[in-house]
Structure 1
Amino acid sequence: MARKTASVVLALLLAGTTLLTACGGNEEGKAGPSSSPIASGSGSPAPGGEASQDSGEKLTISMIENGWVNTPTDDNDPWRKWMNETYNVDFKLSAYPESDLESKLMVQFASNDPPDIIAVWNVNLVKKLYQQGVLLDDWTPYLDKVPTLASSFSPQSKAFVNEGGSMIGLPMLPAPNTFAFKVRQDWLDNLNLQKPTTPEELLEVLRKFTHDDPDRNGENDTWGISSAGAGVNLGELANLEFMYGKREFFVNGDKADHSIVNGTHKKMLDFVKTIVDEKLVDPDWYTQGWEQRKPKLFSGKVGITFYPGVLINELEGGTGNTGATIDWFENLQMPKGGPEGGNLPPGAVAGTIVTISKKAAEDPAKLQRILKIIESSTYPNDGYWALRWGVGVNGQEVVELEDGGKFVSLKDELYRQDNKGAYDWGTWVATGQDGVVESMNEQPGDSDIKQMRLDLEAMKMPANPNDMSVLSLDAQLKSDLETMQNEFDIKYILGGTSDYDGFVQQWLASGGQQLLDQATEQFKQAGLIQ
């Protein structure tokens, strides 16, 4: 999803829309190393440091990546000029769509002309190249040279790039999860209610949102919550499972566990069955798609929805940009229904995966220069603001806002309007963790600031670890079990069956136990189970 989000965000940017850049990575002028108004004082090594380990000679360095735009720039590209002058290099950047990158790489390696730096979204491509012996063997000995990036690693992100005990790539900072439940704050105020903190409190709020005329229009025309199952699954109602604990496969002590087996899934189904039986949910919740649901949401008929902060700008855009809807929704912390519950779904484990060719690794001067580039370009260091936002490169400025967000105006942006491929200088490092709002306007509007605040709040909410990211389970079994689960879920909710224990036994016998065994073994191999 991060890659799709990046493409959508970039499209909106090029159309002149203001947004919070959750596109980040996948999963989208600085004269000196400390001139950035944001990153100065970060304490990171400045480009050109460690002179005793660097020859100081000008080096040619090539990079191939998955890009957002994937078109070359002209000779006046200020980002290339900045890279060359800052790092004393002749830097050659090539960006390709994900569908083309593998073939391009294979041709280059086959011709013994590999790129020095490789930045891709698909870790399996890195693994394929690694198994051919054409990449740096292990990044572990070099992590002290990229301390900013290394400090961001989690056990899951390190396991994600683990192959036979070696770290085969560097997981760049991922795009943060900005999805969270949003609640109509004005309805809470109208009914003198507090934000619910438990499933029981949430159920009472849904009842009052449905039956107590929360919008004060005298009509019985509101629902507590909605969803968009598209006739396939529960849609975002499935996220109610996180009230009670972790979902799907996860590490539990010395083995893999699953929410279907440990009963967490049943608690969610019972909750959803209650709100369906009591008609507290939009009646089209199961059949409608994401876009089909929006008219009810935009017309103010739904009290709770699961959405990122862009909901605010979508509401405004759908209601004439009058400002009337800006104050409708606020974030709702995931209600807590048990010791393991109350967290958001896990976010992405990594953005772009960066590695280098074996040929580049065998050149000590080139290796040192590449390590400097990676460290300096990692958020929040100076090189990040240059590559991602053009600070000190193309006349852009990052302005700190009062609530901790940041704003970049593209109003006077000149170069990238005609050379959009220059956005790809920032693709490999991009992360929505920077909290930046960008716009073709000089200043962010009220809806932009509200969107930014909601996303920043969501980023700080506790979330479950992404244990699933390290698994590579039997794809056919997973698909078959998912179909079985979806069919049982809707049947259970609509009263067609109450035999949850029988479903668990069928799930285990139909491949669930086999996947649990696979997951346990893979968690052990990844080091998440000792």
Structure 2
Amino acid sequence: MRDKRRITGALAVVMAGSMILSACASQESKQPSGSPGPSGNGGKTDKTIKVTAYHTGAYNPQVPMPAREDDPIRQMLEKAVNVDFNMIIPPSDQKIAKLNTMIASGDIPDMIFMPDRATAIQYYDQGILADLDSYLKDYPALQSRFKPEEWEAMKYKGKTFGTPGYEFVNGIQGWWIRNDWLTKLGLKAPTTPDELMNVMKAFTFNDPDGNGKNDTYGFVTGIGKDGSLTSMGWQMIFWMFGVNPNTVDMVDGKLTFDNSDPRMQEALAYIKSMLDAKVVDPDWVTINDGTALDKKMYAGKSGILIGDWRRMEKTSQQAMKDVSGEVPDWIVIPPVKGPHGDQTIGLKSFQNNSWVISKTAAKDPEKVKRILALLQYWYTDKDFYPWANYGIKGVSWDVVDGKIQRLTENMSKKEVSDKYLWTTNYALPRRADDALYFNFTNPRTTDFQKINLQYVKPNPVNPFIVPDPNDRLYSDRNKYVNEMFLKFMMGKEPLSNWDAFLKTLDSKFEYAKFKEYATTQLKEAGALK
């Protein structure tokens, strides 16, 4: 659920592959009725076809997959469409490197899970991937499984290069606030920037925990290890003004580059006022991962933070009790509405991952059909869904009184959970709103997610921008932006120098050239008229 579609970081993936590419039974379930055959319409064939899948989308790649006889999920997949299914799961740090090695040696997998669109396009341009348009019409269940915009993300140069991989979960990060502190101080949840500042000041200076000490803060956040400001909490303050660092957006039909947008200057000024007012936990400059932010929440000395919608699950509540001796009344609230009417928690996740089929496999049209039939069964068969997404029947789930129930108590035993952790590598078809899959223990968790989902902003252009491999300044430009924004926030660089910053961004880091390249790309992709 780590859901992440910024253009930063994609350049490294693109360039990494370019040089190599250029060289170029015991628990078995019966097959459910109506399962799709190779033709997609329930047909069968006596010929077993061997299919090799390179699975970079595995949720637990470090866990070895069992042998066929110990893997009823694999057995169901194989029986459904009559294939010999072999799944290669590379280590997390070798996903692309190992694939490039296989391609260079001519050992190209039949189907490949592509982690992002930039990588898929790179392989497509190198002639590695097959077009699927002429086949997909025969698999209506697979087509209807995903939304039109998710299929649109599978197109490049007018061709469909893959099928969607898994749904991203939207609305993960949201605004958490101490409701008990609001009640004690006679305050309401903030809805405007001014109200937010007043609440943060009260949480900092009005002794909300009643211990008589000046040891609380209104807001706790951090920065990425690379100096980025888009993941630890500051991003929500930026979004309050309708912008976010290193983001390209569309506002009222016009393309906007947020780094140089006047609203960015407003956002930085507001953040500076927060820091000047000393309402932000001063440790924010050293908090650079989720674990550190968790510890701050557990300690009970912060009133507002940005966090995962599952922060009040039982495990987190226990951690709070262990650290601070209490479980505060943390609640999720709608994002604060900014001065221009912006009220958002971020951009909608783009269907960035995919399953693709190699041209080598496509030399045999029947193999393509069998792969698509496999995907259709995997992603759409109702009887197979709990096996793929919850694990083994009788171990991690079962049917009780006609309804599927998770066997949480059984799976909480380490010897059981460790033994069956490999099943998660099949869980790609899980629905993004499947509360049973996420196994919530707090009934309010679903409500918290629903609040966040109301404020997810459309993402019409940013995902279509793939960095120019010839842009030698791409990384340095982003680094400069991050460094300057931090200086503006902390007062080390006066905001009166904003125009000078923009001039340097253009003259030294060729931001105008990046804008021109991005605009051209978006027009070619049809995302900009």
- TM-score, L = length of structure 2: 0.78
Aligned partner of 2:207 among 213, 226, 235? 213
- Are 2:61 and 1:69 aligned? yes
Q: Distance in 2 between matches of 1:52 and 1:445?
A: 40
Q: Distance in 1 between matches of 2:465 and 2:317?
A: 40
- Are 2:55 and 1:59 aligned? no
Note the 1:172-251 alignment, pairs <5 A: 172-177=165-170, 178-229=172-223, 232=227, 234=229, 235-247=232-244, 248-251=247-250
Note the 1:398-413 alignment, pairs <5 A: 407=406, 409=408, 411=410
Structure 1 gap ranges (5+): 5-28, 35-44
Q: Which amino acid aligns with 1:63?
A: A
Distance 1:328 1:261, change over 3 A: same
Higher relative contact order (CA 8 A, sep 6+): 1
Distance 1:269 1:262, change over 3 A: same
Aligned twin of 1:484: 480
The superposition leaves residues 103-126 of structure 1 with CA deviations (integer Å, 9 ceiling, x where unpaired) of 654566567664332223144443
Answer yes or no: is the 8 Å Cα contact 1:225–1:281 preserved in 2.
yes
Q: Distance in 1 between matches of 2:359 and 2:317?
A: 51
Q: Distance in 1 between matches of 2:399 and 2:61?
A: 23
Q: Which amino acid aligns with 1:423?
A: T
Q: Which amino acid aligns with 2:398?
A: E
Answer yes or no: is the 8 Å Cα contact 1:226–1:304 preserved in 2.
yes
The superposition leaves residues 47-92 of structure 1 with CA deviations (integer Å, 9 ceiling, x where unpaired) of 3497767343343233221232352312321112222233333322
SS in 2 for 1:370: helix
Aligned twin of 2:22: none
The superposition leaves residues 445-466 of structure 1 with CA deviations (integer Å, 9 ceiling, x where unpaired) of 55xx444553454345423416
Aligned twin of 1:529: 528
Answer yes or no: is the 8 Å Cα contact 2:116–2:354 preserved in 1.
yes
Q: Distance in 1 between matches of 2:73 and 2:475?
A: 44
Q: Distance in 2 between matches of 1:166 and 1:389?
A: 34
Cα displacement (A) at 1:2: 2.8
- TM-score, L = length of structure 1: 0.78
The superposition leaves residues 154-201 of structure 1 with CA deviations (integer Å, 9 ceiling, x where unpaired) of 64x556543322221223233314111211111122223222222222
The alignment yields a C-alpha RMSD, in angstroms, of 3.8
The superposition leaves residues 330-373 of structure 1 with CA deviations (integer Å, 9 ceiling, x where unpaired) of 11211121556111112542364101233544545443443333
Q: Which amino acid aligns with 1:57?
A: D
Q: Distance in 1 between matches of 2:465 and 2:405?
A: 36
- Are 2:477 and 1:502 aligned? no
Q: Distance in 2 between matches of 1:78 and 1:388?
A: 13
Q: Distance in 2 between matches of 1:125 and 1:261?
A: 28
Distance 1:408 1:200, change over 3 A: farther
SS in 2 for 1:175: coil
Aligned twin of 1:283: 282
Distance 1:285 1:51, change over 3 A: closer
Q: State percent identity of aligned pairs.
A: 23
Answer yes or no: is the 8 Å Cα contact 2:167–2:429 preserved in 1.
no
Cα displacement (A) at 1:252: 4.6
Answer yes or no: is the 8 Å Cα contact 1:176–1:347 preserved in 2.
no
Note the 1:4-23 alignment, pairs <5 A: none
Q: Which amino acid aligns with 2:505?
A: W
Aligned twin of 2:306: 306
Q: Which amino acid aligns with 1:497?
A: P
Q: Which amino acid aligns with 1:56?
A: T
Answer yes or no: is the 8 Å Cα contact 1:416–1:422 preserved in 2.
no
Answer yes or no: is the 8 Å Cα contact 2:249–2:255 preserved in 1.
yes
Aligned partner of 1:90 among 64, 67, 84? 84
SS in 2 for 1:377: helix
